[in-house]
Amino acid sequence: MGNIRIPDKVCLIAAICYNDSERALYAENELIKNFGKLYTKSKIYPFKHTTYYDNEMGDQLQKYYCSFKNLIDPTIIADIKLFTNEIEDKLSVNGTRTVNIDPGYIEKPKLVLATTKNFSHRIYLRNGIYGDVELYWRHGGFKSFSWTYPDYKSENALLFFTKLRNDYIQLLKLGHDSWE
């Protein structure tokens, strides 16, 4: 029998994809109001990795990743996803999203996203939200799965998430749950 251990707090991240920079900034500020100051942000990049959002949001999308200074309990990620869905709804125009927010977290062995979509590799959390492991850590780097979203496999994303993971591990070693 294994010993039960409470997991470490995790590093909250969010991917923000948008077609309107003012609405994206509003979404980011809503996240900051609820989860605290940002720790770091990736560069904004043109989101051309899939046409999934084209019909709804157009094909001139931008995207970036951000992380927050305060670590979180991983069990609240479903609540965070429900909150980000509310922000998306609030920023919709005539029922069409202008911003897509994918919250998740980084912990030592993996990067997890919260999603409303069920699939064979996703684990039900609660309230219609699933956990999806996008990347896993092995042999000194993040590795992807066959289902990993293409932009999460990109060199820039992997560099961003690797640095964030390294900073997160240093924070845990110091016994802190915030970069402040």
In a domain, 36, yes or no: yes
At 60, list the tokens: 């001139």
List helix spans (H) across the chain. Answer: 21-35, 54-57, 77-90, 155-173
Contact in structure between 53 and 17 (CB atoms under 8 Å): yes
On whether the CB atoms of residues 37 and 180 are closer than 8 A, the answer is yes
Residue 52 lies in a domain: yes
Task: Supply the pLDDT for residue 67.
Answer: 98
Residue ranges making up the domain that contains 27: 10-173
92 pLDDT above the threshold of 80: yes
Q: Is 150 within the bounds of a domain?
A: yes
Q: How far apart are CA 28 and CA 25, in angstroms?
A: 5
Residue 124's Cβ-side half-sphere holds a number of Cα atoms within 13 Å equal to: 4
- Structure confidence by residue, pLDDT tens digits, 71-80: 999 999 999 9
In this structure, is residue 4 part of a structural domain?
no
Judge whether 180 lies within some domain: no
Give the span between the Cα atoms of 179 and 167, in whole angstroms.
Answer: 9
Q: Which residues contact 170 (CB under 8 A, 6 or more apart)?
A: none
Residue 121 confidence class, pLDDT cut points 50, 70, 90: very high
In a domain, 95, yes or no: yes
How would residue 57 be classed by pLDDT, with cut points 50, 70 and 90? Answer: confident
What percent of the chain shows pLDDT beyond 70?
A: 100
CATH code assigned at 110:
3.30.70
pTM: 0.95
Q: Tell whether 33 is covered by a domain.
A: yes
Count structural domains, the chain: 1
CA 139 to chain centroid = 23
Q: Let me know if residue 5 belongs to a domain.
A: no
